[in-house]
Amino acid sequence: MAEERIYEEFGQYIVPSSWKDKVWDIKEYQRFHENTIKDKKAIENWWEKWANKLFWFKKWDRVLDDSNPPFYKWFVGAETNLSYLCLDWQIEQGRKNKLALIWEGEPYDETVKKPKELKKFTYYDLYQQTNRIAYALREKLGVKKDEILTFYMPMIPELLLYMLAVQRLGASHSIVYSGFSALALAERAIAAGSRIIVTADALYRRGKVKPLKEIVDEAVNICEKRGHNIEHVIVVNRTDRPGIPWKEIKDIWHHEFIKDIPENARIEPERLKSDSISYILYTSGTTGKPKGVQHSIGGYAVGLCATMKLIFDINEEDIYWCVADIGWVTGHSYIVYGPLMTGTTTIMYEGAPDYPWPDRWWDIIERYAVTVFYTTPTAIRMLMKFPLDLIKKHDLSTLRIIHSVGEPINPKVFHWYFKNLGREDVVATSTWWMTETGQILTGHFPGLGKIFPLKPGTNGFPLPGVKMEVLDVDGNPCNPGERGYLVISTPWPSMLTTLYQDPERYIDVYWSKFTKNKQWRFYTGDYAVKDQDGYLWVLGRADDVLKVAGHRVGTAEIESAMLMHPTVVESACIGKPHKLKGEVPCIFTVLKQGVSPSPELETELKLHLRKTIGPIVASDAIILFVETVPKTRSGKIMRRLLKAVITGQKLGDITTLEDPTAVKEAERAYQYLK
Binding site for ligand WTA (CB under 6 A): 283, 328-330, 405-408, 430-435, 459, 524-526, 538, 540-541, 547, 552
- The helix/strand/coil state of 578 is strand
Residue count (the chain):
674
State the helix-helix crossing angle for 182-192 and 213-225, rounded to 10 degrees: 60
Residue 153: enclosing H or E segment and its boundaries? Answer: none
- CA pair distance 672, 674, nearest whole angstrom: 5
Q: How far is the CB of 458 from ligand WTA (least distance, A)?
A: 9
Nearer of residues 324 and 601 to ligand WTA, judged by Cβ: 324
Separation of alpha carbons 461 and 444, rounded Å: 7
Determine the Cα–Cα distance for residues 522 and 512; give it in Å rounded to an integer.
8
Question: CB–CB of 43/36 below 8 Å?
Answer: yes
| C-beta of 11 vs 269, nearer to ligand WTA | 11
Phi, psi of 574, deg, nearest 5 = -135, 170
Q: Measured from the CB of residue 419, what is the shortest distance to ligand WTA in angstroms?
A: 19
Cβ 68 to ligand WTA, closest distance in Å?
Answer: 25
464 near 32, Cβ under 8 Å? yes
Task: Supply the minimum distance, in Å, between the C-beta of residue 431 and ligand WTA.
Answer: 5
Indicate the pairing of strand 468-471 with strand 484-488. antiparallel
Least distance from ligand WTA to the Cβ atom of residue 509, Å: 13
Q: What is the smallest separation between the CB atom of 583 and ligand WTA, expressed in angstroms? A: 11
Contact, 375 vs 407, CB < 8 A?
no
Name residue 638's amino acid: M
Compute the least distance from the CB of residue 477 to ligand WTA, in Å: 20
Question: Residue 548 CB, nearest distance to ligand WTA (Å)?
Answer: 11
614: left (phi over 0), alpha (psi -120 to 50) or beta: left
Q: What are phi and psi of 440, to 5 degrees?
A: -65, 140
CB of 26 to ligand WTA, least distance (A): 20
- Is residue 473 within 8 A of residue 485, CB to CB? The reply is yes
Cβ burial 602-638 (10 Å sphere, 16+ → b, else e): beebbebbbbbbbbbbbebbbbbbbebbbbeeeeebb
Complex with ligand WTA: residue 44 or 533, whichever CB lies closer: 533
Residue 593 CB, nearest distance to ligand WTA (Å)? Answer: 38
Q: Tell me if 523 sits within 8 A of 97, measured CB to CB.
A: no
Shortest CB 511 distance to ligand WTA, Å: 16
Q: Which residues pair with 443 in a beta bridge?
A: 461
**295 closest CA partner among 287, 283, 284, 286:** 283
Nearer to ligand WTA, 232 or 541 (CB): 541
Strand partners, 486: 470
